[in-house]
Amino acid sequence: EGMTVEAFLETKLNVTLSSYQEYIRSVCERRVKEEFAFYAIAEKEGILLTDEEFQTKAEKLSDYYGSDLDTFLKTWGDEYIRITLQGQKVMEYVLEKAIPTTK
Between CA 98 and CA 45 the distance in angstroms is: 14
Q: Is the dihedral of CA 52, 58, 63, 69 positive or negative?
A: negative
* Residue-averaged pLDDT of the chain: 94
Q: CB of 87 within 8 A of CB of 34?
A: yes
Tens digits of per-residue pLDDT, 22-46? 999 999 999 999 999 999 999 999 9
Spatial CB neighbours of 5, under 8 Å, sequence gap ≥ 6 = 17
Cα dihedral across residues 5, 7, 13, 15: positive or negative: positive
pLDDT (mean) for 77-96: 94
CB 40 within 8 A of CB 28: no
pLDDT in tens, 70-80: 999 999 999 99
**Does 1 have pLDDT greater than 80?**
no
Give the pTM. 0.73
Q: Is 68 helix (H, G, I), strand (E, B) or coil?
A: coil
